[in-house]
Structure 1
Amino acid sequence: MQGKKNYTEKLFLSFQLSDRVPKENLYRRLRETLDLSFLYEDTKELYGRTGNPSIDPIVFFKLLVTGYLENITSDRKLVEHCGMRMDVLYFLSYDLDEELPWHSTISRTRQLYPESLFVTLFNKVFALCVDSGMVSGHTQAVDSAPIKANASMESVVPKMPATPMESHLKKVSEENRETTKKHGGTISPVQISAPSMS
């Protein structure tokens, strides 16, 4: 007899995200290993004392690390991607029912950080990932299944990241600048106290 899966979406009253993310998952290990609290002190001078709270600097840099690891250069696509991944939500300290920051908030925050500080902090965060053994920065591993294939072992080579980090950051900046122009947005160089949906 042919089976047929019937699906009716349920409202779960008891659900814990941490129970659904495997212990060996990269993003879970990053969350449990990295201490990014230094970002509050390192970015303190960039924030005003009034206005709406900005996106949390730790969340902001975790989003950037996720974009780099997943090779996503569009802030719109990054937010969409993160919203569909339970492990990334757990890494960002967001629950399933929480709205992620708007893509425009991410773009605005990136553009308001002085470039030298932004690159320094991003390198520092990524260095922590490398130091903790979570990321090598040179090789990507791909999960696989045992399937017969007609391939020569001599042709197998390590997969390198598509672009170096500096090129990735440049591409992110260019792509999101184009998105801002298309949607008529302007960004002024003021202290970070812009509205956000963090």
Structure 2
Amino acid sequence: MIFAGVDEAGRGPVLGPLVVAGVVLNKRDLDDLVDLGLTDSKLLSRAKREELYAEIMKRAIDHKVIILPAEFIDTNRQTTTNLNKIEFNAAVEILNSLNNWNQAYVDAFDRNAKRLQFVLSNTIQHEVVAEHFADRNYPVVSAASIIAKVIRDREIDKLHEEFGVDFGSGYPHDPKTSKFLETYYSTHKELPMIARKSWNTAKKLVEAHEQKQLDEFFSGEG
């Protein structure tokens, strides 16, 4: 039996790309990978993810990665396409491009997993299982989650180098991320191109700075 798995990394961050990955592996190789420690990428250290990534790529029958930058996400959300639709389109593209699989599993990104399963299966004309926590319950989805996470980590490393600062993970709750956004906006009077401007975190930052300017103007301090 040959399985396909699809998962993402970077759905929630205010900085950096969303990465969606798919991989095809046979049952024997999946069993070997589980013996090596394969599980949901969120439960692994970065070093272990990198180690498993190399082992996955050695065994993968096929794989595909789609990197969706912040600007792409913002542009699509402006046209009333929500994040679920963006990820759905990526999952469909991946499943249609992957070869030689019998059964596909997707980590459900819609609140209603059964609805997602129905729509995905009908769209690609092949049965797809979509479940919450599929990245923990199906090894092939664990493998896809590791690919997505490793690629996103590497993309974030590139952005750290490009901007000359370690801004952390890109998630709103990360103090390094918050500090970077605040400093960048204070200096440049705009958000960096890698920021998802449609995110509430970004909107609130801009609104706070605009309000501060108004307050300073009317108080005579500006």
TM-score normalized by the length of structure 1:
0.26
The structure with higher relative contact order (CA 8 Å, sep 6+) is 1
TM-score normalized by the length of structure 2:
0.24
